[in-house]
């Protein structure tokens, strides 16, 4: 099954920001496009807005004037659903209400031919449930674009329970012909991106709710140590707290209130107060004109230790040993060849976040996971109240000697980056085990849909198959609420070998 022919008309129902974006994508690809909106006059206004954006593309030399004029000639606003007769694909981008979408598609079936692809751009509703109202549900598919649709490459092509393979393939190939990067997934709450991304927000909020770190510090650690484009607090301010919480709540409810997807009470209070982010001028941060952005907590300068004793190779943090040597600090090798810790001259230990609390040990400082310890510009440390001040100072000075800013946070298991990455890996592995998508498509979706520095399986290959499960096991031991219990899928994944297909 191949992509729709460029002569095939495409219709977009709903002319808000997303509807206009999808229409522009199809139009620039070369299709005749028809716009419809239930509100009188909005389709024509949307056509004018798209025309203005085409003008800007000419100014930026991304379109020629002739291409713009041809595209404008292919764009037709219509005042009635009957004007969509003869279309080969109809994409809806209307309000996120199941009853509204079902009613729309039932009406569309009276207008278009039975071989017309019908698609929803829903981000939170069940594709199966929407399609269940149709006379011919096999031709119904999800085409989830990301905002802004003309710029972001990812499209999740979602097959509902009744979606025919041919329909899903045609939708997939059409999205690819439009210059997008499609990923195929089954109908699951949140699809790929909004399902697997929940811990990115949830764990940041959990650290804040535990009073272990303020939003500016959490965001700085996620960016400067974890390699994420934006921190969770600044990103939800950009998305809109109401929008982000609505998606979280929808996924949580769809998974029968699974504790792993539980919404944040702190975010709920933010929404209730009307602080929705940039669009209202205030969210986690104050975005009003002249407001000063809070600075992340950064430790004062401290003296580095004269030496460290390495017990084991430090696992995922092994490159730190080279950095320490390059900084002129002596690295002494202990007799033990296992472990992920450094012993400081104080006698205290510096340990990579492993899901345990510093409070469980006599004199331990934990340091957080980094995407790349050489390039990281900030490292988070955590310790207990009884940890030696000398150990804390030497740990701080050590990382400062490596050219890193240091943020000291409260004693929370898994710290910030480590717990976030471990939970993302867990949900990704579970999604693949349940047939939602392939490992490759999950990685592609997370890189392109939310700009993660690595896909979950890329993280896992770098850290080791058993890393996420081991950290979550320890977190579950500390906090046995069920939120951090690793999935059975992750356990199987950790136990598997590269030769598992050949094992009888």
The reply to whether 330 belongs to the active site is no
Helices (H), 110-225: 127-131, 165-177, 193-196, 198-209, 215-224
Single out the catalytic residue among 92, 109, 156, 311.
156
451 is annotated as an active-site residue: no
- Of 123, 159, 382, 460, which is the active-site residue? 123
Q: How far apart are CA 226 and CA 369, in angstroms?
A: 7
| CA of residue 113 relative to chain centroid, distance | 37
- Active-site residue 144, yes or no? yes
* Exposure on the CB side of residue 275, measured as CA atoms within 13 A: 15
In the block, residue with structure tokens 């024509």 = 44
Which two tokens mark 331?
């690295």
Tokens 């058993």 belong to: 466
Torsion of CA 267, 273, 276, 277, to 10 degrees: -90
Q: Check: CB of residue 444 under 8 Å from CB of residue 450.
A: no
- 401-417: buried (b, 16+ CB within 10 Å) or exposed (e) per residue? bbebbbbbbebbbbbbb
Beta bridge partners of 120: 92, 142
Secondary structure letter of residue 293 according to DSSP: P
Give me the DSSP letters along 224-277: HTT--SS-HHHHHHHH-HHHHHHHHHHHHHHTTT-GGGPPPHHHHHHHHTT--B
Q: Both tokens of residue 57?
A: 């593309």
Cβ atoms < 10 Å from Cβ of 340:
18
Cβ atoms 275, 282 nearer than 8 A: yes
Helix, strand, or coil (residue 316): helix
Query: Which one of 88, 121, 126, 194 is the catalytic residue?
Result: 194
Work out the burial of residue 67: count CB atoms within 10 Å of its CB; fewer than 13 is exposed, 13-18 middle, 19 or more buried. middle
Residue pair 166/155 in contact by the 8 Å Cβ criterion: no
Per annotation, catalytic residue among 88, 92, 109, 144: 144
Measured CA distances, 68 to 16, 34, 179, 201, 467 (Å)? 21, 16, 17, 40, 52
Active site residue 194: yes
Residues with a known catalytic role: 123, 144, 156, 194
């Amino acid at each position: 099954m191949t992509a729709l022919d460029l002569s095939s008309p495409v219709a977009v129902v709903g002319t808000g920001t997303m509807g206009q974006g999808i229409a522009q994508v199809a139009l620039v690809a070369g299709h005749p496009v028809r716009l419809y909106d239930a509100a009188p006059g909005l389709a024509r206004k949307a056509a004018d807005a798209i025309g203005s954006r085409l003008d800007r593309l000419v100014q930026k030399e991304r379109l020629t004037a002739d291409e713009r004029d041809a595209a404008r000639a292919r764009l037709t606003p219509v005042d009635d659903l009957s004007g969509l007769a003869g279309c080969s694909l109809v994409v809806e981008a209307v309000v996120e209400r199941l009853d509204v979408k079902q009613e729309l598609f039932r009406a569309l079936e009276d207008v278009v031919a039975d071989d017309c692809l019908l698609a929803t751009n829903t981000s939170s509703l069940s594709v199966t449930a929407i399609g269940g109202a149709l006379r011919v549900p096999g031709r119904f598919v999800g085409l989830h674009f990301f905002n802004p649709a003309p710029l972001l490459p990812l499209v999740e092509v979602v097959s509902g329970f009744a979606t025919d393979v041919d329909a899903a393939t045609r939708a997939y190939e059409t999205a690819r012909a439009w210059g997008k990067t499609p990923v195929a997934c089954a109908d699951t709450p949140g699809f790929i991106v909004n399902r697997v991304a929940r811990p990115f927000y949830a764990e940041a909020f959990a650290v804040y709710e535990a009073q272990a770190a303020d939003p500016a510090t959490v965001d700085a650690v996620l960016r400067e140590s974890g390699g994420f484009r934006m921190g969770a607090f600044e990103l939800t301010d950009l998305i809109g707290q109401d929008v982000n919480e609505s998606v979280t709540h929808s996924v949580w409810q769809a998974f029968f209130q699974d504790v792993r997807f539980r919404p944040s009470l702190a975010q709920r209070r933010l929404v209730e107060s009307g602080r929705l982010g940039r669009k209202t001028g205030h969210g986690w941060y104050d975005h009003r004109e002249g407001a000063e952005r809070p600075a992340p907590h950064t430790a004062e300068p401290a003296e580095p230790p004269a030496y460290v004793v390495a017990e084991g190779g430090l696992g995922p943090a092994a490159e730190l040993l080279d950095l320490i040597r390059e900084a002129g600090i002596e690295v002494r090798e202990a007799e033990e060849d296992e472990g992920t810790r450094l012993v400081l001259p104080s006698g205290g230990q510096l340990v990579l976040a492993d899901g345990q609390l510093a409070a469980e040990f006599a004199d331990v400082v934990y340091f957080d996971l980094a995407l790349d310890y050489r390039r990281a510009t900030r490292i988070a440390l955590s310790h207990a109240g009884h940890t030696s001040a000398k150990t804390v100072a030497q740990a701080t000075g050590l990382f400062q000697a490596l050219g890193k800013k240091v943020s000291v946070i409260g004693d929370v298991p898994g710290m910030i980056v480590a717990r976030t990455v471990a939970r993302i890996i867990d949900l990704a592995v579970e999604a693949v085990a349940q047939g939602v998508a392939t490992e490759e498509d999950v990685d592609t979706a997370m890189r392109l849909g939310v700009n993660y520095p690595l896909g979950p399986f890329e993280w896992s290959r770098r850290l080791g198959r058993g890393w996420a499960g081991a950290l979550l096991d320890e977190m579950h031991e500390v906090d046995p609420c069920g939120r951090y219990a690793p999935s059975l899928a992750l356990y199987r994944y950790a136990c598997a070998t590269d030769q598992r297909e050949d094992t009888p």
